[in-house]
Amino acid sequence: MRNFKSKSSVVLLLALTTLTACHSELQKPLTQAPAVKDTTSSAQWFNQGKQLAQNAAPVANTQTAKNLILIVGDGMGITTHTAARIFAGQQQGLLGEEYTLSFETLPYSALIKTYNTDQQTPDSAGTMTALVSGVKTRAGMLSVSSDAERGHCGSSQGKSLATVFDLAEQQNKATGIVTTARITHATPAALYAHSPERNWESDNMLPEEARKNGCLDIAQQLINHQQGKQRLEVIFGGGQRHFLPTSEPAGKRTDQQNLTAQWQSLPDHHLLTNKQQLQDADLTHGHWLGLFANSHLPYVDQRDKHTPGLLDMTQAALSRLKHQPQGYALMIEAGRIDHGHHAGSGYKALREAEELDQTVNWLLNTIDLSETLLIVTADHSHTLTLAGYPTRGNPMLGVVFSNDDQGRPETKPYKLTDGGYYTSINYRNGPGAVALQRPSVDPQQALQPEYLQQALVPLESETHGGEDVALYAAGPWAHLFGGTMEQHWVYHVMRHALLAE
């Protein structure tokens, strides 16, 4: 359960989470101009701030962390974070701006620089490597140092970087990964694989040079990892295709190996492929591979009853990891926030972020923060913008309704000088790019899940953003987070907390 080691910080937490009630089912977006009115008085606004100022700072916890939970909202930059807050609040009938995401209640925060050693705007492989190894590296490379050349196997030999999972497993802690992406995708793979190329998810992508020099694909590296002394207890996500031969439907492996069969041939190793199996499994012991989709898990709205969500997988993973007397290390990735943005769909990205909010809310009501270091951050940002002058409570996905000269909400959408409407969230680039003359936004079409927000620069896929991302933390040694920090420093706080050096 939540424990911030300080009565005053608990009071602050309760104040911040008044509007953060967990809801069991994600709802549809608002479909009209805001109807909710803010009745907060000037005295109430003032007293809210006064209460905050009167609370003492939380007491620093300098105990050794028994457990570690690192949560990554892939692509959840500051604008995504803000838009998700408003969006999630509006699903609960609020104006939205006053809502508090579950992880925003954590007592420590920082801004995190995200650049790679070779790119100003980073990719997930390089950023995740920095987070879990304590060393910055090149874009596209997984837990190998920047001395290597991307995509060149020979140059990466002897350049592998140890990760926080290596450290945890040396301490005999249970380790687990939960992701809505493929488990061989960059973010999860950085914890168990070492590769100069993130795209080598299965052997069909290995070039001849890599084969000659003995580099293994990422899926094979997972199986080999399990054959050593240090083994994952849980890894849940998608990506079945990279474990199956091309002779199987949708299989990608040209070596014709069935890695799911190899996994199950290992002692006490079990395979899960659907939600019912996950719910029925006895997770008190053993090693569990959950492959719940051929590629990435479907987006929230596109999942059927057979596909578990982020919360389902997190609950199952924790039910396995908590049985380890020495503790555990768990990485949770909301991977499809990133994919929604690449597709130019603010709706998809915000729905995935809302699911992350609900998952963290469950965790905060379940884990003991006196012995668990909990970190919520992003690996990088995206080009999403939140701008214009929409009225308070403007539907996050809708066209802009502005205020009149007296500050009252207009009854019709704001019309630009080009005669058209516009939305407050847009992209710098991507598939939603428009040409001059800019077409107007249809107010009803803008609210549809498949609508692509308008963008400036036409690209097949919207790109990452290069700005800092936010980090929130609680638990042992979380007080070391603050100010603006390099991304690879996050690893060193985790290491310090686990070792209490």
383 is written with which tokens?
Answer: 């080009």
pLDDT for 30 beyond 80: no
DSSP string covering 274-338, please? SHHHHHH--TTSSEEEEE-SSSSPPPGGG--TTS--HHHHHHHHHHHHTT-TT-EEEEEEETHHH
Q: Per-residue DSSP letters for 346-392? A: HHHHHHHHHHHHHHHHHHHTTS-TTTEEEEEE-S-EESEEE-S-PPT
**Residue 19 banded pLDDT, cuts 50, 70, 90:** very low
Give the span between the Cα atoms of 67 and 400, in whole angstroms: 45
Q: What is the pLDDT of residues 137-158, one digit of tens each?
A: 999 999 999 999 999 999 999 9
> Where is pLDDT greater, at 7 or 318?
318
User: How far is Cα 190 from Cα 163, in angstroms, rounded to an integer?
Assistant: 8
Side-chain half-sphere CA neighbours of 86 within 13 A: 23
Greatest alpha-carbon span in the chain: 73
CATH 3.40.720.10 domain range(s) in the chain:
67-383+463-499
Give the CA distances from residue 192 to residues 130, 230, 389, in Å, rounded to whole numbers and listed in that order.
14, 10, 46
Quick check: 193 pLDDT over 80? yes
Band (38; pLDDT cuts 50, 70, 90): confident
- Res. 10 pLDDT band, cuts 50 70 90: very low
Looking at the predicted structure, is the pLDDT value of residue 17 above 80?
A: no
Can you tell me the distance from the alpha carbon of 432 to that of 438, in angstroms, rounded to the nearest whole number? 11
Distance, CA of 355 to CA of 358 (rounded, Å): 5
Q: How far apart are CA 203 and CA 179, in angstroms?
A: 22
Tokens of 140: 């596209």
Of 3.30.1440.10, 3.40.50.620, 3.40.1280.10, 3.40.720.10, which CATH number belongs to 67-383+463-499?
Answer: 3.40.720.10
| Ranges of H-type helices in 380-459 | none
Question: Given this model, what pLDDT does residue 229 score?
Answer: 82
Q: Are strands 108-113 and 384-386 parallel, antiparallel or unpaired?
A: unpaired
Q: What is the pLDDT of residue 35?
A: 64
Structure tokens at 219: 């899926």
* 124 given a catalytic annotation: yes
Q: Which candidate in 6, 9, 109, 124 is catalytic?
A: 124
Alpha helices in 30-76 (DSSP H): 42-54
Q: Is residue 58 predicted with pLDDT exceeding 90? A: no
Handedness of CA 272, 102, 377, 368 (dihedral sign): negative
- Tens digits of per-residue pLDDT, 441-490? 999 999 999 999 999 999 999 999 999 999 999 999 999 999 999 999 99
Residue partners of 107: CB distance under 8 A and separation at least 6: 4, 9, 12, 13, 58, 473, 474, 478
To 10 degrees, the CA torsion angle through 27, 29, 34, 36? 10
